[in-house]
Structure 1
Amino acid sequence: MSMTPSPPPVASGVRPAHGEGADQDRAFGWLRALGPGGRRAFAGAFGGYALDSYDYFALPLSMVALSAYFGLDSGQTGLLTTVTLVVSAVGGALAGVLADRVGRVRALMITVSTYAVFTVACGFAPDYGTLLVCRALQGLGFGGEWAVGAVLVAEYASARHRGRTLGAVQSSWAVGWALAAVVYTLVFSFTGDDLAWRVMFWTGALPALLVLWLRRRVHDAPEATAAREHSPRRGSFTAIFRPGRDGARGLLRTTVFASLLSTGVQGGYYTLATWVPTYLKTDRGLSVVGTGGYLTFLISGAFLGYLTGGHLTDRLGRRRTIWLFALLSAICVLVYANIPQGADTLLLVLGFPLGFCMSAIFSGFGSYLSELYPTEVRGTGQGFTYNTGRAVGAVFPTLVGFLADSWGVGGALVFGAIGYGIAALALLGLPETRGKELA
């Protein structure tokens, strides 16, 4: 009789790949454990989020050229980011409900198509008002893509691997960011600024190719789909705001604290993502090529941070990992923003730990938010809390914009550190979910 131990139980929708019990802890064992359908879902979510990132960063990287072209002040340029993130809350909440009602893959195709169309439209904007409207509409798709893709993959992944699997999906943000930085360097080096910013937005048409592949190759996790379709509460906003009664545990407390957690983390992140390129060019006086070089260190740290954070969230737990990187991110922001003039080498080197910490904190979000909600409202809960955090956190980049003229961009970046402090406090109201099966 064989004495080989049985493989661990897996989440809803997972069909263990051959040999998973023997190699599940090896490099990329988490990817093999997804099975063929799960790997296609992973590829779709990875590509969708990478292109989501690419389309988002077309704005921050073009912000100096846009300001000069339309004659904008810092407050107006900051408002472009804020309106994107505020509207993304609406898009994320709607996409979450849609994912629970019509399926994860259909909702993913809708969100990717939306952000692609309106990113391209931004490139044709004749004035600031039109650009603001197009950027707001781009936020509808931008807000929904991550939450839908994360739920799709989470329902294929086992509890043992979910943290690192979703961390790998999250790392695609750095891939899209890097691609945007490369294209920015090429476009702005060979094209005049008045046209270059438009070209950056026009390249946002790339995600349309992904939609065609998603339609043919990717499907929802079968068991999760069955569980969702047999529930009368699927896609219900009222369900995620229901308080506990008569000893039954409601979801109101979870929704409030998860939204607060998301607000703090994203307030800190988008402050940096929006203003670091401008900080490098205005406060530090770097050229286009110089800014691209410094961003290389920041983005490299971000990519490794996503992957490392994913592994740590499986080993240390969701709450402990997020708390650790909230503390480290706040410290990095304060140090980075106060590097003295002339110490450009130090600025270059510290870009790596800054990118690492501010990205590693996100690695546990996909698994953590998925595990906080039951299957029938998982998309709704994750879409609402993640994107509410985006909307409220969007106030942070705007504050930096309005204070930049008096404090300097570097001085105003302190609001990023405040955001991470809010995130650390929010964890006090949420449970640990490591090892939870998505049945």
Structure 2
Amino acid sequence: MSTAPKARTASEDINEDIHDSGAFGWLRSLGPRGRRAFVGAFGGYGLDAYDFYALPLSMVAIAAYFGLSSGQTGLLVTVTMVASGVGGALAGVLADRIGRVPALIATVLTYALFTVACGTAPNYETLLVFRALQGVGFGGEWAVGAVLVAEYTSAHHRGRTLAAVQSAWAVGWGLAVLVYTAVFGLLEQDTAWRVMFFTGALPALLVLYVRKNVSDAPEAERQRHRKSSLGTFAAIFRPRLLRTTVFASLMATGVQGGYYTLATWVPAYLSKDRGFAVVTTGGFLAAQILGAFLGYLTGGYLTDLLGRKKNIAVFAALSALCIVGYTQVPTGADALLLVLGFPLGFCMSAIFSGFGSFLAELYPTSVRGTGQGFTYNVGRGLGAAFPALVGALADSWGVGGALVFGAAAYALAALALLGLPETRGRELAQLN
């Protein structure tokens, strides 16, 4: 006599075939619920990148429209990053208290709303305020999405799975460059930069998918319903986690200081220092973006193979070398500049591949959102000093000359690793 198959429990719906070593074994191992969470986090982070790049790609036009100095223009990115530090830390606590999915929805709606608002700004001061508010949502999305997916993933696949989420940044960046090329090619730049911001409404559509299809991992749901386990900032500064929080924040400061220095100023470097037109700038950025996408995916495999710390250390050194090489290309050697864009994008992105898994493995479930949100985004806020420094020096040194300060940020990241443990192979349940 046959019997109906037993209904699957929530815990059986994740981490299937954890030793599947195929090219997409990491995706199959997530199970149906985990794959839906992956789609939500991937979409959120990709559109997060799209909305972020609306500013760097439009900076030359904005500076001309409002009559800004390089320092004032750089401040727009700096205030975004500082606000993102606050927003990301708060979003992490929110994720521990109300759940990963509601927090993800809140961050996406926030950054979409205020990106659109930037397009309506009548003056520089208003744009600065709107950009800061956009930063609050921008800062929270990655930390919440990374935690959501990490909790569906086994230790065996966690590095490459979270790296695949990170690769969404290159997809969003590429989409932003395509839209930028079209918008600035068709419209006068005084209008084009506003239209670029208006297209930042796209992420709001993702919320409909997340609300209907995505849910928190079972263990996260159980922890959230225990009152004593709610995340607080005090918890990640208790003796047990203090060292981890301090050094993880310094590591994030260095990596993001270097990355956002490049993300902010390379478009301006190509446009102002090299004198490239819009279409030419888009083509040179395409080489960097292709390198970034492959860097995220390659770094994911390396972080599982070599370990979290070695992956970050290797690519910190390579990223610093690439910055120096890219900015020292002599005038007229445009073919070499195009070629160097690929390794620059590859290295500055591969270093991020281990971030999602590394930070998740440093904190227990009850404060994982708080710890990851705080360290990643405080690092982003403090890292804002590097692009601000480039902006302050760009008028006298040139953008290319000032960009070399990004290399110092990567040196800081490498030094911070000395205070952190290696976590490769650590199951998240061991931390509770």
**Equivalent residue in structure 2 for 1:381, among 343, 348, 371:** 371
Q: Report SS of the residue matched to 1:251.
A: helix
Q: Report SS of the residue matched to 1:372.
A: coil
After superposition, where does 1:190-269 map in structure 2 within 5 Å?
190-230=186-226, 232-243=228-239, 250-269=240-259
Return the offset for 1:233: 3.4
Whether 1:172 aligns to 2:168 is yes
Question: 2:290, 2:345 within 8 Å by CA — same for their partners in 1?
Answer: yes
- Could you tell me which runs of 5 or more consecutive residues in structure 1 were left unpaired when the two chains were aligned: 1-11, 244-249
**Distance in 2, Cα, partners of 1:393 & 1:229:** 35
Q: Deviations over 1:309-342 (max 9, x none)?
A: 0110001000010000000000000100111111
Whether 1:318 aligns to 2:308 is yes
Question: 1:80, 1:135 within 8 Å by CA — same for their partners in 2?
Answer: yes
Paired amino acid for 2:76: L
Q: Report SS of the residue matched to 2:155.
A: coil
Q: Equivalent residue for 1:51? A: 47
Q: Deviations over 1:107-145 (max 9, x none)?
A: 000000000000000000000000000000000100000
Q: Equivalent residue for 1:308? A: 298
Whether 1:88 aligns to 2:84 is yes
Q: Deviations over 1:176-233 (max 9, x none)?
A: 0000000000000000001000000000000110011111100000123213432513
**Any runs of at least 4 consecutive aligned residues in structure 1 with deviations exceeding 2 A, and if so which?**
12-18, 227-231
Paired amino acid for 1:96: G
Identity across matched positions, percent: 73
**Equivalent residue in structure 2 for 1:338, among 328, 332, 345:** 328
**Distance in 2, Cα, partners of 1:147 & 1:321:** 20
**Distance in 2, Cα, partners of 1:170 & 1:28:** 16
Q: Equivalent residue for 1:247? A: none
Normalising to structure 2: TM-score of the pair?
Answer: 0.96
**Distance in 1, Cα, partners of 2:335 & 2:223:** 55
Return the offset for 1:174: 0.3
After superposition, where does 1:32-43 map in structure 2 within 5 Å?
32-43=28-39
Q: Deviations over 1:134-159 (max 9, x none)?
A: 00000010000000000000000000
After superposition, where does 1:61-210 map in structure 2 within 5 Å?
61-210=57-206
Whether 1:15 aligns to 2:5 is no
Question: 2:80, 2:132 within 8 Å by CA — same for their partners in 1?
Answer: yes
Q: In the superposition, relative to structure 1, how do residues 402 and 437 fare at CA in structure 2: closer, same or farther (>3 Å)?
A: same
Q: For this pair of structures, how many residues does the alignment match?
A: 420
Q: Equivalent residue for 1:410? A: 400
Question: 2:18, 2:156 within 8 Å by CA — same for their partners in 1?
Answer: no
Paired amino acid for 2:200: G
Return the offset for 1:406: 1.1
Q: Deviations over 1:8-57 (max 9, x none)?
A: xxxx9573566x267x1101110000000000000000000000000000
Paired amino acid for 1:409: V
**Distance in 2, Cα, partners of 1:235 & 1:221:** 17
Question: 2:15, 2:153 within 8 Å by CA — same for their partners in 1?
Answer: no
Question: Cα RMSD (Å) of the superposition?
Answer: 1.1
Q: Deviations over 1:211-256 (max 9, x none)?
A: 111111000001232134325132111110011xxxxxx1000000
